[in-house]
Chain A
Amino acid sequence: MSLLRKSAAELAAMLAAGETTSVELTQACLDRIAAVDGAVHAFLHVDAEGALAQAAASDARRAAGTPASELDGVPIAVKDVLATQGLPTTCGSKILEGWIPPYDATVVARLRAAGLPILGKTNMDEFAMGSSTEHSAYGPTHNPWDLDRIPGGSGGGSAAAVAAFEAPLAIGTDTGGSIRQPGAVTGTVGLKPTYGGISRYGLVAMANSLDQVGPVTRTVLDSALLHEVIGGHDPLDSTSIDQPLPALVAAAREGASGDLSGLRVGVIAELRGEGYQAGVQQRFDEAVALLVGAGAEVVEVSCPSFAHALAAYYLIMPSEASSNLARFDAMRYGLRVVPDVAKNGGSPSAEDVMRATRDAGFGDEVKRRIILGTYALSSGYYDAYYGQAQKVRTLISQDFAAAFELADVLVSPTAPTTAFRIGEKLDDPLAMYLNDVATIPANLAGIPGLSVPAGLAPEDGLPVGFQVLAPALADDRLYRVGAALEALLEKQWGGALLDQAPALEGAVR
């Protein structure tokens, strides 16, 4: 257990010093998965054999004095929305059940090249559509803090795997908050980079103009370490930024000193108050006070266009998704349902097969968004919906630009509430969508955002997330501020927040 509780940075140091081996570490993770994942259900697929083989190869490199990277040998879990050569990739959907990609996503290829054994693929809302992981076709993931509650979504599997000490590191993706909101409700660290900062090649798209891959970790420094492994320009992604990453690990180390003198922090007026749980607001305010104590200057900023962010998001995202998901038609891969011929009195046409497959293969939330998007893009409605939403997007970017004139970073609660109960919001999609109100603006504007644990809400004892936003390309500021806040809070808590989480061993749901 002690090995499992260490951060990736600590594990990397132990591997470098020969105090443990990747095989030992990977086996420990696999044992932990075997022990607790029946209750948590963070994983859709565990590749014990592959992970151990990669771990052995890593140990051989370490022994030969030629580690592939600082994180060589530290195991990782990957959200099931990234293509992994030879490993199933379902996106949490029945329509891709059994599909084994013939290629690796760029992020996965970089993990392999850096020597991180891949433990398996983590659960998610189907095609990343959701904020609770309840929309997975393979059943929900449970929050390690309270197994009756959601772990956030869509990347609830990655966040829960890390929070439950099944993996020291995980990869998530964030279209409207799918890394940050699960981070908030599981007491973990989640970062969405600047749009274009990490390659999307091999990420099965929900909304291409919003999607980004990012690290899911237990510490801010781990996030920076992983970000430097997977980030940077990729010629296979035309929207990838062709310039070097800022010095992220250095920023995290600098921030950990706890000195934020001269930093201007903007509190976003629109992301507080009504709709925000009292304990969430309280922990947020305390965290802001800690930043002030560390030398930061706090100002209030206003982003009036955020009022329209959710509406714009729910036009742009389904529009892009409706087109992206058209390819799942049973012609080349994935599920194939051939409808009953007798009913037709003839052999089924390609269209019949497509219709039957999509009907059987997609869940309700996916169908809902395909219908919304198809409608929004339709001739005669395009200008009023998709076109108008793009204008809102521009306004939101302008709000951010104005706010960043006044502040170096902006802050808000990551999610308005702590983890809700499984099933609580399933019948009310709009309530579910509201959970992303604070995270969505960053996706619409393409700027980076980080969620760090801010403590437990007094009323329910569940984790609260603190969101930090920075201008595009300034991801390093997130690490500086995030590491400082983490250090100050852990001093108060006397250790990591996750030390207060239930042990889970022997847990049953």
Chain B
Amino acid sequence: MTTLLSYDDAIAAFDPAMGLEVHVELNTATKMFCGCPTEFGAEPNTQTCPTCLGLPGSLPVVNRKAVESAIRIGLALNCGVAAWCRFARKNYFYPDMPKNFQTSQYDEPIAFNGYLDVQLEGGEVFRVEIERAHMEEDTGKSTHVGGATGRIHGASHSLLDYNRAGIPLIEIVTKPIVGAGARAPEVAKAYVAELRELIKALGVSEARMEMGQMRCDVNLSLRPHGREKFGTRSETKNVNSLRSVERAARYEIQRHAAVLTSGGTIVQETRHFHEEDGSTAAGRIKEEAEDYRYFPEPDLVPVAPSREWVEELRAGLPELPSVQRKRIQADWGLSDHEMQSVLNAGAIELILATIAEGADAASARKWWMGELARRSNEDGIELAALPITPAQVARVAALVAEGSLNDKLARQVIEGVLDGDGDPDTVVEKRGLKVVSDEGALGSAVDEAIAANAAIADKVRGGNLAAAGALIGAVMKTTRGQADAKRVRELILERLAAQG
């Protein structure tokens, strides 16, 4: 059983230092070094060729589009872009790596020395320094069959799918993040969130963490306050949601602190993050520093982007998320606090997309930040991962605007969509969720309610308008909620000739 120190005690005693390594899968049509397609979800080993299978004699050729994406990421991260750089071979044996070396970049990355400003809750801006962004190829995928945990231990056999082998990756590595203190986990999360927004704004990847398009490794160490030398770090691999990044950092701070305060030493090791309880567990212990025997990839000529090209790409960068946020906040008239909630929920893109589908800003924001945010919390999945599209939300908003749905019914429609019952219109149809707008039917329901509640009706007649609420409630009950409450109130007041 792992012992943890309380978070406050940990922070009181130690200063955390973090290094974040984020892998982004580019959305190029073809792989990094061959012409194979990159579409997700194809039958295993159908998107392969001699090059990405590493067959004897095959050779790589660099994907120019991937280089372009790498440069654009570098520029957006305020990095310098190399005038000349090379690929290198990172040598190690693993069955899902066809050549038993990964073609990556080593001491000559395409982009280096940048920064990304991230905004924390409360509005403070924290600058995360970027060490480098480099290009590399993804590995294939191993599926371990027969073991209890899906890990290799205990498995009876493993299946290899090389469709992913050779997909272009950009690895973005921060310099040590220090000085965040208690807010280190929050900084980690905010950094990955900001990076994800940036990547999406650049259009170089969908950056969907749940699909592995963006993966984060959290390196963390503690040192006593005032000490310059970093402590031994742990490397928590493949932390694949924003929330998990924060939790993993927090957990490791508490775990390290417990070890260190009890006189133990931290083992430099790879750890796995467990989503279920937010803990990490030891993986491979690095007995000695792994020797990857890097050397320049002799099969590829150096990449030497011309300055003109780099400047052209710089000029073509889109509005970056931080700038866009300021503009949106002003456009929507949100307070800092409201804006922060929208950001925390990861809802900006979704709201913008919903607006693009025809909804007005207020209702788009209302649905995503209200009902849908609640569902995402309840189900513990990210907003974007909910099984509903901005177009569907926009349709719900439209049905409300035209009076076909009231808010209560709209919530039921959204629930139906989330439950997989189909588009909003299909759900309305299937579940019979439509505002009763037949004046005749509504009129008789109102008459019934007045007749059944004569005493209350009298109060209303006598000028106690608040009492009408009970009558409205009765009508809503007989119409099973499918009436427009505003119209019901009008009808009641009309009939009771009360002046509202």
B58 A239 Cβ-Cβ under 8 A:
no
Bound Cα distance A331, B91 (Å): 17
A327 B61 Cβ-Cβ under 8 A:
no
Q: Does A82 contact B (CB under 8 A)?
A: yes
Q: Does B95 contact A (CB under 8 A)?
A: yes
A91-B56 contact, Cβ under 8 Å, with A102-B50, A323-B293, A350-B158:
yes
Distance from B22 Cβ to chain A, minimum over Cβ atoms (Å): 25
Bound Cα distance A200, B301 (Å): 14
A319 B50 Cβ-Cβ under 8 A:
no
Q: Does B84 contact A (CB under 8 A)?
A: no
A319 B98 Cβ-Cβ under 8 A:
no
Interface string of B42-54 (1 = CB under 8 A from A): 0000000010011
B293 A201 Cβ-Cβ under 8 A:
no
A331 B293 Cβ-Cβ under 8 A:
no
Distance from A115 Cβ to chain B, minimum over Cβ atoms (Å): 23
CB proximity to B under 8 Å, residues A47-99: 82-83, 89, 91, 96, 99
B291 A238 Cβ-Cβ under 8 A:
no
Contacts of B160 in A (CB 8 A): 331
A103-B55 contact, Cβ under 8 Å, with A238-B60, A323-B101, A323-B295:
yes
User: Can you name the residue of chain A whose Cβ is closest to the Cβ of B162?
Assistant: A332
Q: Does A304 contact B (CB under 8 A)?
A: no
Of the residues B57, B62, B291, B294, contact of A204 by C-beta under 8 Å: B57
- Chain A CB within 10 Å, residue with most, of B55, B98, B99, B156: B55
Q: For the A-B complex with A83-B55, A379-B293 known, give 5 more contacts whose Cβ atoms are closer than 8 Å.
A: A102-B55, A103-B55, A105-B57, A238-B60, A320-B295
Bound Cα distance A438, B301 (Å): 27
Tell me whether chain B's interface is mostly helix, strand or loop, or mixed.
Answer: loop
Bound Cα distance A282, B350 (Å): 84
User: Can you name the residue of chain B whose Cβ is closest to the Cβ of A358?
Assistant: B93
User: Can you name the residue of chain A whose Cβ is closest to the Cβ of B301?
Assistant: A238
Of the residues B95, B295, B298, B301, contact of A350 by C-beta under 8 Å: B95
Of the residues A208, A331, A379, contact of B291 by C-beta under 8 Å: A379
B299 A378 Cβ-Cβ under 8 A:
no
Of the residues A83, A91, A238, A354, contact of B61 by C-beta under 8 Å: A238
Tell me whether chain A's interface is mostly helix, strand or loop, or mixed.
Answer: loop
Q: Does A403 contact B (CB under 8 A)?
A: no
Q: Does B289 contact A (CB under 8 A)?
A: yes
Tally the A-B contacts, defined by beta carbons under 8 Å. 102
A205-B100 contact, Cβ under 8 Å, with A238-B301, A378-B291, A378-B293:
no
A202 B301 Cβ-Cβ under 8 A:
no
Of the residues A235, A327, A350, A354, contact of B98 by C-beta under 8 Å: A327
Contacts of A202 in B (CB 8 A): 57-58
A89 B295 Cβ-Cβ under 8 A:
no
CB proximity to A under 8 Å, residues B132-187: 156, 158, 160
Distance from A322 Cβ to chain B, minimum over Cβ atoms (Å): 8
Q: Does A276 contact B (CB under 8 A)?
A: no
8 tightest A-B CB contacts, nearest first: A326-B100, A208-B298, A377-B293, A209-B298, A204-B56, A202-B57, A83-B57, A204-B57
A103-B50 contact, Cβ under 8 Å, with A201-B59, A323-B89:
yes
A377 B100 Cβ-Cβ under 8 A:
no
Q: Does A420 contact B (CB under 8 A)?
A: no
User: Can you name the residue of chain B whose Cβ is closest to the Cβ of A108?
Assistant: B57
Distance from A176 Cβ to chain B, minimum over Cβ atoms (Å): 15
Q: Does A274 contact B (CB under 8 A)?
A: no
B295 A386 Cβ-Cβ under 8 A:
yes
Distance from B64 Cβ to chain A, minimum over Cβ atoms (Å): 12
A205-B57 contact, Cβ under 8 Å, with A326-B99, A326-B101, A332-B98:
yes
B295 A377 Cβ-Cβ under 8 A:
yes
A332 B295 Cβ-Cβ under 8 A:
no
Distance from B108 Cβ to chain A, minimum over Cβ atoms (Å): 14
CB proximity to A under 8 Å, residues B59-84: 59-62
A327-B54 contact, Cβ under 8 Å, with A238-B300, A350-B95, A377-B293:
yes
B93 A377 Cβ-Cβ under 8 A:
no
Contacts of A138 in B (CB 8 A): none
B57 A201 Cβ-Cβ under 8 A:
yes
- Chain A CB within 10 Å, residue with most, of B56, B95, B99, B101: B56
